[in-house]
Each structure stands twice: as C-alpha cells, then as structure tokens.
Structure 1
Amino acid sequence: MSTLTETSPGAFEVQLGTGSFTIPEPDGKLTANAPLAPLVWFKSGGVAGLLFEPASAEALASFLRSLPDWVPVMALGLGSNLIVRDGGFPGVVVRLGKAFATVAAIDATTLRCGGGASGILVSSTARDAGIAGLEFLRSIPGTVGGFVRMNGGAYGSEVKDILVEAEVVLRSGERCTLSLADLGYSYRHSELPAGAVVTGATFRGRPGDPQAIQAEMDRISASREASQPLRSRTGGSTFKNPEGHKAWQLVDAAGCRGLTVGGAQVSEKHTNFLINTGTATSADIEALGEEVRRRVKANSGIDLQWEIQRVGKEK
C-alpha cells in the first residue's frame, strides 16, 4: 500500500512500497493506490502506487524531476493494449487528460497532436482539414502517446509512415523533441526509453478530399466491426504477426478458438483477441495467452510474441 501525506503547505511525504520520499505539491491530480482496472479495456488488474494526471507538459517534467531514481514510471493512455497484473504497478502511472487531448492543423498536410488525443480525434481532424494518410488511426483504440511508443499500425500503414517528430518528457524530467530517426522504429516497437512519456507528436499526411477520406474511414470501421470483438472486454491484437504469417491463423490452426482459462477466453470471432468474459483476473488472461503460445509452438514450431504489454506484479 502507498500513502500520500501532506507534511507542510506545498509538500507531501510519499510511502511507496518499502521506500519513502518527499515531493513538492505537483500541478495536477495525484492519487495513491489508484485502481487501474477501470482505466484499461480488460477491466482487470491491481492498483497504481501513485496515479498522476499532470496539468501540462512542464508540470509533468517538474514532477518527474522530483521523484527518486528508483521509482518506476509508466504512461497510460486508453489502456487498450495492456494487461495490468493483479498485484498492480508499484510505481507511478502517468495519465494524460484533457489538456493533452488536442489536435490542430499547422499547414495543408501537417497536424500537431497532444499525447492524449485519440486516434478517432486525430483522423477526424485530418479529414476536416483535407489531410489524407491518417485514416488508419481511426481503427486503433489508443492515444497518440501509445501510437508513437509502439509504432502503432493497421490496414497497411504505421506511425513511422506519418511521424515527423515527437515531444517527450524523459524519466529524468528533461523535455526533448525526438525525430523519426531517433525513435528507431521496427514492427510494433520503438527505442523510446523506459519511463519516458510522449506529450505530443507532429504527423504529416498528404492532400486529400474530405469525402474520400471519410469513405476510407467508414470502410475501416465496417471492417473492424465485422471481424473483431469490439463490444467485449478485450485488449486488441494479442500477438505480433510473425514474418510471413498471420497470428490469428496460427492460433486457429492450433485449435485455440474459444479456449478458456478461468474467466478468460480466446475470441470466437477473431482468434488473435483474448476476452474477459466477466470474471477473469489478469492472471487468467496472461495464462491463457501463454497456453496459446505453447499450443502454437507445438503445432507450427513458431514462437508467437506478445503485442499486448504486460506490466506490474503478480498477486
């Protein structure tokens, strides 16, 4: 359990696990032992030692500078691609709120986006500005910060195809701007340092007709609705597609469609999705994923790699 105690005007004593430290009162909302299950799509998992919702990028930088080096930090967006283990996250979870949910066109083909802006907001703003090439973000249930960290992609496009630069607050509290090359992108991976928080990004598309852009967004939405269990408690695509293969086909061929562990189930609709049927713990979900990996390896010889991030401690 964590505690947050005001020791004097403008100062707090924090007990986090077995360690303690003093910090100045941050500009934003700071909560001890904050439940994370309501904030993630799987609706499972433990608490955050501290949950911080900063008022601005400078407030975040100042807060991170005040933390001891031993305190782990994790950014949380919409929680769509995440398993928070049942023992919770023992450090600080940073969640970017409305102050970071901004998108604005800065020229005929370029958008400046806050790290908390959703894919729907980014793609819709691009449509209204006549900027094509960002339609695929409509299909990714997350925020700009997560897209940048994971090189998010769908329907043949990835963030690396549109990113100009990203504004980042490092774990040390240093604010910096990283170029596309700095991020070292590969498939669903970047070299963004641990504990860094993406507070904004600049995306560049190409000139397009708003009606044609909307038609492409509608096509993507209809395709997702037809093929994915969008109305379930899920975490999106569970495993990365191995070179030359589709993860869902490997899972299906291994006989895992509908497989269950506790309250967790492999989706009948799309076998690269795991579902919380209502009673699953995070341990159930992770154990199901590992069983799927074991069966796929036995059937095809291929080692599936997790795409969903798994964080925190086991209970």
Structure 2
Amino acid sequence: MAFPDLLEQYPELAEGIGGKLTANQPLSAVTWFRTGGPAQLMFQPADEDDLAAFLKKLPKDVPVLPVGLGSNLLIRDGGLKGVVIRLSAKGFGSIEEVGGNRLRAGAAVPDKRLAEAAAKAGLGGFAFYTGIPGGLGGALRMNAGAHGTETRERMVELTAVDRDGNRHVLTNEDMGYAYRHSEASKDLIFSSAVFEGVPQDEASIRQEMADVVAHRERAQPIREKTGGSTFKNPPGTSAWKEVDAAGCRGLTVGGAQMSEMHCNFMINTGTATGHDLELLGETVRARVLAHSGIRLEWEIKRLGEFGSQGAIEPFLGKEGEAA
C-alpha cells in the first residue's frame, strides 16, 4: 500500500533541510526481519540542528517515530503513518573520548562499535554491547543489556530533541530505568549520550568480547532474519524455558518460525509477512499462558498499521485465551 505524500501536502517541510526526505519508503529494507509496509515519509537528518529545524516545522498532528538499526522491530504490513526519523551514521555516528573514563557517542552508533571504541580506549564495562545487534538509540530507550550488564550501568547523560524541536539533556536518574524499560518521554528523539567505563587493559577486554561473540554464535540464530529476543524474561524464570515447556520450539506460522536453536527468537524463514510473525508471537503467548499461567511480554517492538490480513488480538483473544 502507499500513503498520501506528505511533501505534497506540506511542501515547506523540504525547505532548508540538509537531510534526506523519502515518501513511502519501504521499511522492509531497514528492519532485520525484512518485513513490513512503508513509512509515509522517512527523514534522515544531516545533524541535530537539521532534526530540530524539521520538527519545528512539522505539523503537530503528524505522528513521529524514530527508528534505529531495526534489529528489535516488527513493522506491520500496513506500514507507518506520519514521519519515521532515521538518524544517519554521518550525522549521529561519531564516538569521542571526553575524559574521566567517558565516551560520547551518537545515537546511530551500533552497540558493538561502542564496545570496540571502549576497548581501544582501555575502558572496561562495555563488552556486553558486542552481543547486542542494535544501535545506541534503542539501547538507551529500552535499557538494553546482556551477560549481566545493562545500559543504565554505563550511561551518564544523554541529549535529545523533543517534538517541538527543543533540545534536552537527561541524566541517568531522569531516565527511570528498569528491566528493558525507561520512563523517558516517547516524545524525545535521542541524539547522543555520554557513557562511563572503568580502566582495564585492552587484552582482557578483548577476551571478554570474544567470549560474548562465541556464546552468541553457539546459542543464537545470528545468521537468520530475526529480531533478537522476542519476549522479556518473566520474574523467576526465562522466556525461552516457558516457550519450550509450552511446546513452541520450532513452531511455525506461514514463513515465521520460533527458532529450533533458541526458542525465544522468531525468524523469518524467507517468506514471512509482518502478520505471520506477530500471529506466531501471539500464538506462543497464548500457549504459554494456557500451560503455565505466565503472561509473556513482548520485547520486540511491534508498530504500524495492520494490513489486509486483519488485526491480531493479544493472546489471540480479548480474554487472554487462545481462540
């Protein structure tokens, strides 16, 4: 499907803009699942000033959504209304040492690239990022973590631009971090952040990074079209254990499958639609609920309009029971 062209409706949006504007940009090209409909308008700002200037001009009733590397994202087949902001590596991909065992990094920096920069600087505490296949914007938003360490343990402060184009600086405390969650306003688009590590020799850091990579290659389907962990770990147990116990390892819906290698990972076997993937996820949630009484929460973000195949109810039914 295609949305009405926002640039035809609001031609002033393109005036004085240094970044790239694309109407009806297919989002399947920028998500790891390789599924989903288009963005009504995609904007790739040249820098933070460009982003602020664009947002100041954008009518307030037009939705705005930042999208990073697309690793933890399921776009529905009907696409996304409004403007998708995708930060460019050129404008938001720098990393610099700022003293005091700290690094400033742009929100478009891949997590593993921050780990590499920290290793070169002799700063420990970042090796966990080697195993997270996303960008720092998403890591900051959802408090991404792995191997016993979370983003909240490293982030000192971040800069952001709000819906009106105003700049803000938020401290770690301002973010209200919890497990895979922050209290930061959805209105904010993160542009950069300062992270703090601890002095450590580079050789030992690189051994930690190698251990993370080796574990990931052994345990996760990293060569598949996947979105990472599908569900958050419930209190007192692991999501994969509950998925497995409910008989969902290898379960398929259309071209979507719960991985045989790690059954908390959904994969696109090659022909999956966004509908297939979300229907599979809700089928798994319904079966786990019926088996153990546990209501798994999605870790993958599902966004956009449902397509021609229709909407999918949580747990496959409004009453939380499999249909």
TM-score per shorter chain, which class? over 0.9
- The question of 1:43 aligning with 2:34 is answered yes
**TM-superposed deviation, 1:183:** 0.8
**TM-superposed deviation, 1:151:** 0.5
Question: For 1:152 and 1:64, how far apart are their aligned partners in 2?
Answer: 27
2:76 aligned partner: 85
CA 1:201–1:77: 2 relative to 1, 3 Å: same
Contact in 2 for aligned 1:52/1:95 (Cα 8 Å):
yes
Choose from 190, 194, 198 the match for 2:190.
Answer: 198
- The question of 1:209 aligning with 2:211 is answered no
2:93 aligned partner: 101
Contact in 2 for aligned 1:46/1:86 (Cα 8 Å):
yes
Per the normalisation by structure 1, the TM-score is: 0.94
- Identity over aligned pairs, percent: 50
Question: For 1:14 and 1:69, how far apart are their aligned partners in 2?
Answer: 17
* Deviation digits for residues 146-166 of structure 1 (CA, Å, limit 9, x no counterpart): 110010100000011011001
Question: For 1:175 and 1:202, how far apart are their aligned partners in 2?
Answer: 16
Question: For 1:222 and 1:110, how far apart are their aligned partners in 2?
Answer: 27
What is the 5 A alignment of 1:100-139?
100-139=92-131
**TM-superposed deviation, 1:195:** 3.5
Choose from 55, 67, 70 the match for 2:61.
Answer: 70
Q: Please give the secondary structure, in 1, of the residue aligned with 2:284.
A: helix
**TM-superposed deviation, 1:21:** 6.9
Question: For 2:210 and 2:109, how far apart are their aligned partners in 1?
Answer: 20
**TM-superposed deviation, 1:75:** 0.9
Contact in 2 for aligned 1:108/1:129 (Cα 8 Å):
no
- The question of 1:220 aligning with 2:212 is answered yes
What is the 5 A alignment of 1:1-315?
1-3=3-5, 13-15=7-9, 22-25=12-15, 26-98=17-89, 99-315=91-307
Per the normalisation by structure 2, the TM-score is: 0.92
Q: Which has the higher strand share?
A: 1
CA 1:24–1:277: 2 relative to 1, 3 Å: closer
Q: Please give the secondary structure, in 2, of the residue aligned with 1:61.
A: helix
Question: For 1:97 and 1:136, how far apart are their aligned partners in 2?
Answer: 24
Question: For 1:2 and 1:129, how far apart are their aligned partners in 2?
Answer: 48
Question: For 1:2 and 1:231, how far apart are their aligned partners in 2?
Answer: 36
**TM-superposed deviation, 1:108:** 4.7
Which deviates more from structure 2 when the two are superposed, residues 168-177 or residues 31-40? 168-177
Question: For 2:186 and 2:197, how far apart are their aligned partners in 1?
Answer: 29
Instruction: Give RMSD over aligned pairs.
Output: 1.1
Q: Gapped runs of 5+ residues in structure 1? A: 5-12
The one-letter amino acid paired with 2:40 is: G
The one-letter amino acid paired with 1:23 is: L
The one-letter amino acid paired with 2:87 is: L
Q: Gapped runs of 5+ residues in structure 2? A: 308-323
Q: Please give the secondary structure, in 2, of the residue aligned with 1:177.
A: strand
* Deviation digits for residues 111-146 of structure 1 (CA, Å, limit 9, x no counterpart): 000010011110000000000001111111111111
The one-letter amino acid paired with 2:66 is: A
Question: For 1:27 and 1:195, how far apart are their aligned partners in 2?
Answer: 22
Which deviates more from structure 2 when the two are superposed, residues 32-41 or residues 167-176? 167-176
Q: How many residues align?
A: 303
